[in-house]
Structure 1
Amino acid sequence: MKKTLLASAIAILATSHAYADYQFELGAVYAQGEAGNTDYDGFGIGGEFHFDKVDTSKGPLAEASFLDKSSFVNFSFLSIEPDVKNADEIETTDIGGRFVTATNLIIEANWTTADAGNSDTDTIRVGVGTYLSDNTDVVVSYTTEDDNNADVDYLDVTFHGVNPLSQGASVAFDVSAGYIDTDTDSGYQISVGGTYYFNKMFGLGVSAGITDVGDTSSDTVSVDASFFPSEQFELSASIFDSSTEFNNTDIDSDGIMFGAAVRF
């Protein structure tokens, strides 16, 4: 549950804007849902600082940073509170950045820590890639996760692209595949996603992913939307449904997240 919520929060916090160039953005999210038989509520905040002004004229506003090959540093904080008496909150902090050189080399790095009372997880991710064209990139990442002295390592490759269509529309895609190695088992993860942008201001997306490691498998489907009612303000929403099977026991999770962000 922690990974699904964090990924959704980061995705929402990392979008915004319109035709005016920008350099800094701030966002917030509210989440609620159910994991297993436990309800939860949560909130998050995030920010992103770009080293140079981001040109927003190259395509959908939500893809402005990617299309402008922008370099930035960012942060996010997410707190999830289970609806259980005396339960510990799950607090996740992420700090990272993306750097693009003049030769289109991409370097990424993230540090994430999740605190759930008696359970702490620290994650470090580094990635290297390149722009294959002005609107497509590929990044190979290595991630190591220490969950209460249980180590998990990930190696994955991700493609992202934005293709223009007629009459101001465009479509974006994401494809990711990775290898997972734990202390006792190994496995894989695969995810695909696409977003249709009706214009520069409004987009609808859907994504799906599967993970299989040892006797644990999971699948997740999400639907996302982003809308810019003005040049420097975004409203966004995300709905997800996830199922995890462990030792022949199924655990279902679902949730919805609302976000808002400003750029200046």
Structure 2
Amino acid sequence: MPQQPEIQDIYPLSFMQEGMLFHSLYDEQSRAYFEQASFTIHGQLDLERFQKSMDAVFERYEIFRTAFIYKNVAKPRQVVLKHRHCHVHFEDISHLNERDKEHCTEAFKEQDKSRGFDLQTDVLMRISILKWAPNRYVCIWSHHHILMDGWCLGIVIKDFLHIYQALGKGQLPDLHPVQSYGTYIKWLMQQDREEAAEYWKKRLQHFEKATPLPKRTDQIPDGTLEQITFTISEKETSELQKIAAASGATLNTVFQALWG
């Protein structure tokens, strides 16, 4: 008989998480909340140290050890487990030619995305390493949006790199303690929802309609749908990052504001 995992804590979902859970269950084929980042690693990679660093990240942040229980309960709850393992998947595709490597990598990313996540049973983060050459690897980092947003991902990757480098020197990582997500949930549950609703009602009272991106519909579209690819210079990117940092927002929010 399999041993039941030890539970560390149980608490409600945030209002944003409740919305994500609802839409994920309403359309199980949708990947709207599936987040996937891909980046290339140049140089030697210690897979054992990589795995230990990921284990440390899971130990540091309880949200990554969380399961979202919604069956046979009066109201959905997030259950934090004391221990949860994120196995780093590894594949060596260095024997392929460059074109086949690109095709294999893109196919892997699509398969990973189509696999999705079961919010109640799966570890909601997957890390995969594809070896392209002795000193070149592609890391595919996937997670469900219910765990964190893009802002948080940057913080987590920074912590991961700090841990990886420290372990490489035979040292223990020196990181500041973090607040548990449960502490935030307890604070959130104490807030006045009516007061918050009134605040946003006043802030948005002069807006008559949204300014969404055009999309394909059965009706005659108001605009023409096009796909445009462009590159922003390093200097412009740096300036945009400064604007985002000064506003306490992500780059995505800055672009959304520019579009609006």
Query: Does TM, normalized by the shorter one, top 0.5?
Result: no
TM-score by length of 2: 0.22
TM-score by length of 1: 0.22
Query: Is the helix fraction higher in 1 or 2?
Result: 2
Which of 1 and 2 has greater Rg?
2
Q: Which has the higher contact order (CA 8 A, sep 6+)?
A: 2
